[in-house]
Amino acid sequence: MSARRLRWLAVILPVVAIGVIDLITDHEWDDLLVKPLNTLAIPLIVLACAIFFARFAFRRIDELVEAARERSATLERRNAALEALRELNRAITAFAPTEDVFQAVVEKAHALLDSDVACISLVGHDGTHRLAARQGPAEAFPSRDEPPLDPRDLVRADYLASPLATPLLRGTSTVGTLAVGRRSSRSAYRPEDVELLALLAGGAAIAFENERLQRELRELAIHSERERIAREMHDGLAQILGYVNTKAQAVEELLALSQTDAARRQLAQLAAAARSVYVDVREAILGLTSPVAVERGLAGALEEYAVRFAEASKLATTVEATPAARALRLPPDVEAHVFHIAQEALTNVRKHAAARRVGLRLEIDDGSLLLAIEDDGVGFDPTAAPASDWPHYGMRSMRERAASIGAAAEWSAVRDAGTTFRLRVPLGLDRGAG
């Protein structure tokens, strides 16, 4: 019976009872009882009816109040669980350190499930378990000489009088366990407790998988960068050394023929090659030590590099960026490739353009990031063969980097009127790793 019906019965039944009693007293009561018994009987009957009804009504009201209290407690537990899951989701999407996510998971499980201990154990390659995070008294987690094969051995037995555990899954593989325990079975775990523990374990498993994928991405990026450096050293430094060797042999032959003037010219070219290689190595080291930091972004990294490039090359170098381009944040691998392409473009200006100034411009154009680099040098024909026998490999390297991120690189130049290089990087598209 609902509380609304009870309220109406509390009004109607007393009125009906009084009416019935009054009717009885008017017709039958005086003949059965003499005064003053008939007068005392009426309130006694009313009192008995009231007590009977009150007991019935109050019992029902207490049941409704208890049900409402239990429902309110359930809603509070669910709200607390949802808030815990939201916080955990924010930590995961923000790529918080895995150990921090694990610690947050065991703290939430410890509090929300009213447990004495909570812990996450991870499975090693040899099948043993080690603690990754824990919450509860230090005495509950005894130190061991060797990691156990059973995760229950990580916690003292008296803290597992009422245990609850769920696996951390990566696909079909179990990578660990999230467990809670109580020293006494003061109350049974509810079905929603089992569901909550499984959801928390799922968040911990996602954090674990994120860390693994990030580690693999870093290893892949390092491997890719090593391959690129090795390729550029083979294509660049090896060719330059071959060029130097050829010039040295030419000098020896010219000296043997007593053609000293020609030998001096070859030696001058050798000296120029040595200086150029020295500057190239310095710029390569500078590029390796100039990562694109998150806080300053690509525009800030280019501005910082342009200052050092200008000091080393004696070229007036400027960087302009629109507010949208300055605020843009690309995936780290894409930003790194754009940065190195700009670095290579500036190196080409220094080596071949005979320019006095060079400018970089970043802007958002038609759903793409546009990097433009313009100089006031002598210009060149991108389709023509090199004017000298000096090795040229920068443009090919730039094209390879651009292709690896789905970007397009193009040059436009006019003899004695400068060169413009443009790199167009599509935004919001899937790109292969460089």
> In this structure, are residues 109 and 178 in contact, taking their beta carbons and an 8 Å threshold?
yes
Please, which residues have CB within 8 angstroms of residue 33's CB and are 6 or more apart in sequence? 41
* pLDDT for position 319: 95
Widest Cα–Cα separation across the chain:
161
Q: What is the dihedral of CA 272, 276, 279, 284, to 10 degrees?
A: -160
For 68-83, b/e burial (b = at least 16 CB within 10 A) is: eeeeeeeeebeeebee
How would you write the pLDDT of the chain (434 residues) with one tens digit per residue?
555 666 666 667 666 766 776 666 655 555 555 566 656 666 776 677 777 777 777 787 788 788 888 888 777 877 877 788 888 888 877 778 899 999 999 999 998 888 999 999 999 888 899 999 999 999 999 988 888 988 889 999 989 888 999 999 988 889 999 999 998 876 778 888 898 899 999 999 999 998 888 888 778 777 776 776 666 666 566 667 777 888 888 888 888 888 888 888 888 888 877 776 776 666 666 655 555 554 578 999 899 889 988 988 889 999 999 999 998 888 888 888 899 899 889 988 988 888 999 999 999 988 899 999 999 998 876 665 555 554 455 687 888 889 989 999 999 987 778 999 999 999 864 444 33
H helical segments located in 25-36 = 30-32
What pLDDT was estimated at residue 59?
80
Helices 191-232 and 37-93, axial angle in degrees (round to 10)? 10
pLDDT at 388: 54
What is the spatial distance between Cα 78 and Cα 72, in angstroms, rounded to a whole number?
10
- In terms of Cα–Cα distance, which of 302, 280, 279, 272 is closest to 290? 302
pLDDT given at position 69? 86
Residue with tokens 């509090």, as numbered in its chain? 111
Fold of 290-434: Heat Shock Protein 90 (3.30.565)
Dist. CA 301–CA 291, nearest whole Å: 7
Q: Report the C-alpha gap between 192 and 291 in whole angstroms.
A: 48
Strand duo 316-321 + 368-375: pairing: unpaired
Question: Which segments of 289-317 does DSSP mark as H helices, in order?
Answer: 297-313
If you search the block for the tokens 């490739």, which residue do you land on?
A: 337
Q: Where are the domains of the chain?
A: 3-83, 97-212, 290-434
Could you tell me which of 358, 393, 17 has the C-alpha nearest to residue 231?
393
Q: Is the pTM of this model over 0.95?
A: no
Q: Quick check: 81 and 194 in contact, CB under 8 A?
A: no
Q: Which residues pair with 318 in a beta bridge?
A: 359
Question: Rounded to whole angstroms, how far apart are CA atoms 209 and 102?
Answer: 12
Three-state SS for 418? coil
What pLDDT, on a 0 to 100 scale, did the predictor assign at position 136? 93
Cα angle value 249/254/259 (rounded, 5°): 160
- Give the position of tokens 């690189």: 409
The CATH architecture of the domain made up of 97-212 is: 2-Layer Sandwich (3.30)
The pLDDT, as a whole number, for residue 165 is: 93
Report the pLDDT value the prediction gives residue 429, as an integer from 0 to 100.
Answer: 46
pLDDT at position 430, please? 42
Task: State how far the Cα of 103 lies from the Cα of 87, in Å rounded to an integer.
Answer: 12
Equal CATH topology for 97-212 and 290-434: no
DSSP 351: I
What's the CA gap between 400 and 19, in Å, rounded?
101
Q: Tell me the HSE value of 225 on the side-chain side, using a 13 A CA sphere.
A: 14
pLDDT at 30: 56
Give Cβ neighbours of residue 376 (< 8 Å, ≥ 6 apart).
355, 356, 357, 358, 418
Helix H or strand E encompassing 96: none
Gap between the Cα atoms of 34 and 373, Å rounded: 120
Element (H, E) at 287: helix 260-288
8 Å CB contact between 77 and 192: yes
